[in-house]
Structure 1
Amino acid sequence: MKKRKYILSQLVLLLTLTLHSTVFAQNLTDSIAGPITLKQAINYALRNQPAVKQASIDEQINERDIRIGLSGWLPQVNGSGLYNYYFKGSPQAGASGANIPSNVGSIRNLSTLGITASQAIYNNDVFLASRAKKYSRQYYKDNTLSSQIDVVSDVSKAFFDVLLSEKQLDITIADITRLQRSLKDAKNRYTAGVSDPTDYKQATIALNNSLATRKQTEEAIKSKTALLKQIMGVNGSTPLSLSYDSTRYEQEISIDTLQALNVNNRIEYRLLESTKALNNLNVSYYRYGFLPSLSATGSYQNAYFSHDLSDLYNNGFHTGYVGLTLAVPIFQGTKRLQNLAKAKLQVQRTDLDLENTKNAINTEYTQALAAYKSNYASYRLIRENVDLASDVYKVVSLQYREGVKTYLDVIVAQSDLRTAQLSYYNALFNLLSSKIDVQRALGILPVEQPQ
């Protein structure tokens, strides 16, 4: 009975651990489901976009490079071992690092075991690694941030592009519904002998055009959604649906257009400044390359030798020393001077990159701000047209049914309503995209850390 209870308890424990492991593994899997907001799309992309992951890995690689460079400040310890068999003659005193006493007879086997250590006191290479770590860390940290900014901008614009196409599809479907109703009215009037077949044919033409537009828009949504998935790092077979909040988007269209441009806020400019700092360190490295390298050294050696291999390690002779090693570069064929001149030219080139980037940032900001102001004015004016066009269509449609207006008036009113609705969403999403461009040009585009 006790054995059965023990087996049962072990099975229950095993099942519990299995279920817990399964649930834990599922929690670790990053998934995206249901209609997602722009914020959710951005956070998912920051966690899964390959370019962001690569930038993070580059940051880790740089950290390893820093540790590799700084490892030169730590003691360097090496062990050594040697065995020689002399089939002719015998080793002389000092051979193979061994001091052989003169009273030792014929030698056929010799072996040495030892350990050496060195400690750098001053070394130009290691000194450069110590000074460069601060700037290289900042460079790769900014490089990761740059990748994140690209993702935020690209995901936002692709997200708005898909939403725009979805809204265009909704407008087209609503237009088809109106056209079907108009076609039915025109057909009934023609059947009743009130109108000629022209109205019926015009309604059919307009309906067919809208049906073709619907198909084109549906295919465009598939294409744009595939691009959004790629930017987000979503698997192509994973379904993706977007959430649309018109009130929130309309509340987020404004931005302070009086903000002063500061190029130091731009990540591209900061990356170049870090590059210049690293280039300046190279100049210092080659400028002081004539300084000697100094290190402390030490060694301890055991030497074993005998005529017979069987008693080789019975007796040993021990030697050890400590000292200083000084390496002075005297002449390197002007290599140091040429590298110094090259490093100075690289600094000058980086200065020109900074100047060119500053000018490009000013131009980018001016263009982005002009586009934003233009889109904002268009949005404010076009938003009023939607309500006006909707009222006009309702009146004209009612008047057509009463025989006051012609069908041509209905077609014009429908076209105006559809154009106003499409123009409204175009203006809204163009305005939101241009706001992102302004924020990026100012260097204030918010980047939330992946959760």
Structure 2
Amino acid sequence: MNLNKLILVLICTLSATLPSAVVFGQTATNDKQLNNASLQEVISYALVNKPGVRQSLIDEEIGERDIKSALSGWFPQINGSANYNNNLKQQVNALTINGETSYITFGTKQTSALTLQADQQFLNAGLIQASKAAKFYRQQYKQNTENTKITTVVEVSKAFYDILTSKEQLSIINENITRLEKQLKDSKAQYDVGLVDKTDYQRAQISLSNSKADKKRNEELMKYKYAYLRELIGYGTEKELSLNFNASSMEREILLDTTQQYVYENRVEYRLLQTQKQLQHLNTSYNKWSYLPTIAGFVNYNWNYMNNNFSDLYNKNFPSSVFGLTLALPIFQGTKRTQEIKKSQLQERRIDLDLLNAKNQINTQYQQAMATYKANLNDWKTAGSNVDISKQVYNTIKLQYDEGIKTYLDLMTSETDLRTAQLNYLNALYSLLSSKLDVQQSLGTITVNQ
């Protein structure tokens, strides 16, 4: 065999042992346009396209590759190697026969070897731990994704309701502007014929200007709120976004069963801590398994070449092969294993305290969310009653003003009270819906399919 053929054989042999390329799956994205989209459609879009959600799904894939990489140690490990040596000074040994000593030079000036070896693990503490921990790591990655999705549902819902509330506020302001424009026109006409003084007309101008300023401010804030919603759901700025607003649907969503009791296991954050504890317990077991011996088998095949002339080195080979088992038994490591076991047990105890702290936090979050919801529910009912009363007061004073009984200042005051009551009602409704989401999150009843 000449040198070129030998190199070709070596390359082919090593190539056969290399793993084939793996194509990682990518999270599919949804590029559809959100036109006249409902809350459910916006949430569904966010759960596919939000960068944070997509990153969690990629983390799941990365975790799966880590698991498979760790478990690959159970498969045969095949390696190839090659070497070449030029013995500048060959070893000389003395050989004595019948009292006469002769000096013999061992080996040849040129040597080379190609080796192909396969190793197989039969008993290994690290691989045992990887096998047992695989399902818990998969569970942890999925729980992280679930947590991200639940947070996304809450954030997107609040942002959607905020835009809807602002939209309704703009409608109220527009209605108020329409009324004020009519009042300005009427007061101007009355002033022109000398029925009223100039102050009524001027007050109407001030009220109208203030309402138009409120409208401009809300319109500008609406741009930001749409931009924030785009950010939350991963919606490109180059695409059109329109939402399906239904104020009555908001009111239908306010009711909540306040008798529900929280269950710690319903909270994904609590389940994540439980998974961490299971993994830490496995780590403790691993440190105990480190007392076990490591048993592995191997087999190799060697192509050995020897010659004094480099040009003739690869003309003839002297093959050899070995099969065997190895056993490594840790006997004493200076108390390292004992310290690692104690450390891991302490970490387990620390996670127990994390679980206890999580229970206290869940209880506090639930009590706070439920108290806020009940308070907001009362505020919403009060605001609704105030709107009805304010409408009645305004209508009465408007009739009295038209008949000349009430002053324009009284009409303006009732107008302001009505607008304030309407806006307070919308703010109370938004706060109520937000606090309901907080209660559901504290109970752990929000799911990505909800």
Identify the residue that residue 426 of structure 2 maps to in structure 1. Answer: 425
Paired position in structure 2 for 1:285: 286
Secondary structure in 2 matching 1:190? helix
Structure 1: gaps of 5 or more residues: 1-26, 93-102
Cα separation, 2, equivalents of 1:91 and 1:237: 82
Return closer, same or farther for 1:419/1:105 CA change in 2, 3 Å cut-off.
Answer: closer
Go from structure 1 to structure 2 and tell me whether the alpha carbon gap of 1:108 and 1:251 turns closer, same or farther (over 3 Å shift). Answer: same
Distance 1:198 1:307, change over 3 A: same
Q: What's the TM-score once normalised by structure 2's chain length?
A: 0.87
The equivalent residue for 2:387 is: 386
Q: Are 2:243 and 1:242 aligned?
A: yes
How far 1:324 moved relative to its partner?
Answer: 1.1
- The CA deviation at 1:303 is 1.2
Partner of 1:56: 57
Structure 1 residues 132-143: aligned runs within 5 Å: 132-143=133-144
Query: Is 1:70 equivalent to 2:71 in the alignment?
Result: yes
Q: Distance in 1 between matches of 2:29 and 2:350?
A: 47
Give me the whole-angstrom Cα distance separating, in 1, the residues matched to 2:200 and 2:304. 113
Q: Are the equivalent residues in 2 in contact too, given 1:294–1:325 (CA < 8 A)?
A: yes
8 Å CA contact 1:91–1:107 kept in 2: the answer is no
Structure 2: gaps spanning 5 or more residues: 1-27, 94-103
Partner of 1:205: 206
- Stretches of 4+ aligned residues off by more than 3 angstroms: 103-106, 236-239
Check the 8 A contact 1:379/1:431 in 2, yes or no: yes
Tell me which residue corresponds to 2:264.
263
Normalised to the residue count of structure 1, the TM-score between the two structures is 0.87
Residue 355 of structure 2 corresponds to residue 354 of structure 1: yes
Matched, 1:411 2:412: yes
Partner of 1:80: 81
Letter aligned with residue 401 of structure 2: Y
Structure 2 Cα separation of the partners of residues 288 and 165 of structure 1: 62
Q: CA RMSD in A?
A: 2.1
Q: 3-state SS of the aligned residue for 1:396?
A: helix
Change (3 A) 1:104 1:311: farther
Match of 1:429, as an amino acid? Y
Matched residue pairs, number?
Answer: 413
C-alpha displacement of 1:331? 2.6
Q: Tell me the residue number matched to 2:326.
A: 325
CA contact (8 A) 1:113 1:302 kept: yes
Cα drift, residue 358 of structure 1: 0.5
Identity of aligned residues (%): 46
**What whole-Å deviation, never above 9, does each CA across 1:71-130 have from its counterpart, x for those lacking one?**
1111111112222222332699xxxxxxxxxx9997222111221111111101100100
1:401-449 CA-to-partner distances (Å, cap 9, x unmatched) read 2222221221122112212211221122111111111110000113139
CA 1:105–1:336 in structure 2 vs 1: closer, same or farther (change >3 Å)?
A: closer
Partner of 1:11: none
Per-residue displacement from partner, 1:301-360 (whole Å, max 9, x unpaired)? 121112223332332222222121011122323322222222112111111111111000
Matched AA of 1:437: D
2:194 maps to 193
Match of 1:10 in 2: none
- Please say if residues 90 and 107 of structure 1, whose CA atoms lie closer than 8 Å, have aligned partners that are also in contact: no
Change (3 A) 1:217 1:106: closer
Render the CA deviation track for 1:245-275: whole Å, top value 9, x for unaligned: 1222222211111112101000100000001
My pick for the range that moved more, 380-389 or 421-430, is 380-389
**Which moves more between the two structures, 218-227 or 142-151?**
218-227
